[in-house]
Amino acid sequence: MGSSALATVRARTLFAPLDAGGRAETVARRLAQAITLGLLLDGERLPAESQLASQFGVSPVTLREALAMLRDLGLVETRRGRAGGSFIRAPDDSQAVQVESVLRLLSVHELRDIGDHRAAVAGAAAKLAAERALAGDIATLREHAGRLHAARSRTERRRADARIHVEIAAAAQSPRLTREEMSLWSEVGDLVWLPVTDDQVAEVAAEHDRLVDSIARQDPEQARQAAERHVQAETGRLLDLRLRMGTA
């Protein structure tokens, strides 16, 4: 993909008009997520404020508010003068800081709603997987659950975790649920492992084992409950961390 085509794709996804009621927090969060996903790179210059405001479909005042929030979080730097403008600040070693910034920009209400959405998708996928998974699917799920135990870094854990949930939706034989899991994980996946402390890692990995066990036992209701409880526990940890952060 050429850089101009890439720019078009990014413009469509990042700068799509916001829903009615979109505010500075939403603009700031979308930009912060783009930074954590690596869509906006360190040192990259953002389009002019007026252009950015019209792309997001917000007023210049709202856009300036959003940029101020990102400046406070250290994700954007504004320089004056001829070569001035707003520039992305995302040095490689600041990934955890960036993810925290995304969390800070999400309200408790939004976090709870994301948790509800994830629990609905994961619960339905687990139930259908318990009804439909064949021996080969179970072996795949066990393998990826094992990879989560072996994962050493947060990136590895997030990747193994996302893969288990995508594989469960695939074992449910549902392309739509699979695409939904993929989209949820690319949107909020970085957040999931943020509040997990080192001494909690084994327990989170064991939660996945129990979920896979209930699918392997072909017990649809238990599988659904295991998935829902698992996502609810993750949401609880995130809410807890978000509440301890206070207001942005």
Are 99 and 36 a contacting pair, CB within 8 Å?
Answer: yes
Are 34 and 74 a contacting pair, CB within 8 Å?
Answer: no
Q: Is 215 in the site for another protein (CB under 8 A)?
A: no
For the chain, how big is the Rg over CA atoms in Å? 20
The sign one gets for the Cα dihedral 37, 148, 126, 102 is negative
Q: Is 79 in the site for another protein (CB under 8 A)?
A: no
Which range in 21-29, 53-61, 82-90, 153-161 contacts another protein by CB under 8 A? 153-161
Among 30, 89, 127, 158, binds another protein (CB under 8 A): 158
Cβ-based nearer residue to another protein, 104 or 159: 159
Q: How far is CA 72 from CA 75, 89, 174, in A?
A: 8, 12, 42
Among 78, 94, 173, 232, binds another protein (CB under 8 A): 173
Beta pairing class for 76-79 and 85-88:
antiparallel
Alpha carbon distance 133, 126 (integer Å): 10
Alpha carbon distance 174, 161 (integer Å): 19
Q: What is the DSSP string of 137-148?
A: HHHHHHHHHHHH
Q: Is 133 in the site for another protein (CB under 8 A)?
A: yes
Q: Is 169 in the site for another protein (CB under 8 A)?
A: yes
- The contact mask relative to another protein for 185-204 (x = CB under 8 A, - = no) is -x--xx--------------
- CB-CB neighbours of 157 under 10 Å: 21
Cβ-based nearer residue to another protein, 67 or 238: 238
Alpha carbon distance 235, 119 (integer Å): 9
Cβ-based nearer residue to another protein, 26 or 140: 140
Alpha carbon distance 33, 39 (integer Å): 9
**Rounded least distance, CB 160 to another protein, Å:** 10
Cβ-based nearer residue to another protein, 81 or 136: 136
Are 76 and 88 a contacting pair, CB within 8 Å?
Answer: yes
**Rounded least distance, CB 8 to another protein, Å:** 15
Among 166, 188, 196, 205, binds another protein (CB under 8 A): 166
Cβ-based nearer residue to another protein, 89 or 158: 158
**Rounded least distance, CB 178 to another protein, Å:** 5
Among 1, 20, 109, 198, binds another protein (CB under 8 A): 1
Binding site for another protein (CB under 8 A): 1, 131-136, 140, 143, 155, 158-159, 162, 166, 169-170, 173-175, 178-179, 182, 186, 189-190
